[in-house]
Structure 1
Amino acid sequence: RGIQPFATLYHWDLPLALQETQNGWENRDTAYRFADYARKIGSVLGDRVASIATHNEPWCTAWLGNATGYFAPGNAELKKATNVSHHLLLSHGLALQALRADGVKAPLGIVLNQSPAHGATDSPEDQAAASLEYSKFVSWYMDPLFKGEYPAEALQWYGENGPQEVIREGDFDIIATPMDFLGINYYTRIFASASGEKRPPGALGFTDMDWEVYPQGLTELLAGLNANYTLPPIYITENGCAAKDVLDNGRVRDTDRIRFYDLHLAALSDAAQKGVDVAGYFAWSLMDNFEWASGYDKRFGMVYVDYASQQRTPKDSAHWYRDVIAQHAGAALPR
């Protein structure tokens, strides 16, 4: 049917045995097991997929899984989180090298969740808080991948909890293995305050995840990355909106989702006009699905799923998006 499959090797699905017997991503050896896995998948699927991404959102694996305990495996130790982040990045580089050594022709890359960071006020303290959050969230992954080092600001903040003890000679050369594309997941901005969490203004409202709708942040993020790094083509690999969808007489009127996508596609067009090499865009998501710690409570899909019956009903956004795709099929983003 002309559908191109874009594969992701790892979306937070570590084999349980590796966690229980080998300490998972805390163990450097897991990075090498991941390269073995990538090689196996590449041998089977490498000639029939449009691309292969090594990891989806390694920040979530490292931070939510090991610093806050919000995601599996439920650790809450900063040192574990930074060590895990290093091994994830190392595994990415090792996987790219293994796939290329085997002659896999599919474009290779990684998917990172990213946001611009804004201070809650113009005070030096809030601006410094925003800078640090950006360093920990975005630069912590971008700098090793494209500059071969960790950002000094975040390293200083981590102090003895940084990954210095697990970094070995040559690691950054592996991590910075050139990529064919970079995937970016964008949902909202970071709103930082030195005095603790502060709710952003939400001029365009909030999604059902209580995330501020902030489409201009996508333009800002991409333009900033383009100015600070030498980037491969970029895919927006996730962008979407959770809403309190209601099925009413066979129809879901999800006008907020339609507005969300409309605004963010316009913001993406603005980024392309600023010189960002945007190769493609993926809406999140096709169907309502299991949303990790939120279970089945949050609905991101363009297709409504009745989980009891498995009946699937296209929402208004699905029909709208179908028409958008048809209207722009084959058209490049404006420059």
Structure 2
Amino acid sequence: MASNAQQWWCISLVMLGLVVGTGCRSLVPQQIDALQLYTSPELLDAEPQIQRGEPRKVLDAAGWVWGIPSKILLWDRRVDNHRISPETEIAISDYLAVNGLNTVRVRLNQYRPGDDWRRLVKNRSVGAPWRYTVGTLSVLGETVLPGRLFGGDHFNPFTNTVHVYSDIPAIALHEAGHAKDFGRRKWKGSYAFLYVLPIVPLYHESIASRDAVAYLESVGTPQQQAEAYRILSPAYGTYVGSTAGTFLPGYANPAYYGAVVAGHAVGRFHAHQALHGDATASEEYTMLGLATIEDADAKIER
């Protein structure tokens, strides 16, 4: 028993070092370079870009309970709470407008598989062979295992749709960051397929998180920046832990949980810097002429 405990501690310490090494880099603010977007005009329609699911007390309560493990893991009761506030909606709305992501659909706790299947067919920015194989499987998974119940914020590149179930602006911005990242890719299907390979998710997730942090450092408040670090760092730790578990299956659990704990530590360190003015703000979004999120709102209205 003592030997097993020692192994757990050793693996956890290794994961601490790994997350400190990769986690710090994964959260260095860097705007996604997306001056040219490769999108599908067929996805533009008369419907609202951001849509909400109708409140369903029993269903949403069941989803909240199902999301308890994720709430504990990321230590935030708003994770998979299935109640999206106007603040989170405004945050992602501003982000999409500032970055010109007008073909992206956002579903806030909404289950609408019929529209997702239609968007899969219309999204010609992804090659048909990818859409009707991997893309079909992805939408089928969303249809059979609805996030409206099981949660799981994510971006589906095959339908160009962001699904949000957590009332945390930083998570919504992170998922929108994936949309921006995919928007600049010519070979979206290949880029999406690579995600199933070990290690590759670390690259994808880092890009989205770094862009979200850069955006908030330029147009958000120190409190919003700190919140982003506190939630995105342990979230990134889940990917580090999962990757480590792939190569060390016998130590998958200590690797995973050790990485998450380390992610919390790294996130709180960065959050402290953000709140006390030690972090260096990214100037890239500032070049857009946006000093705060409120300024972004005003610019969009004009």
Structure of greater Rg = 1
TM-score by length of 2: 0.25
- TM-score normalized with structure 1 length: 0.23
Whichever structure has more strand as a proportion of its residues is 1
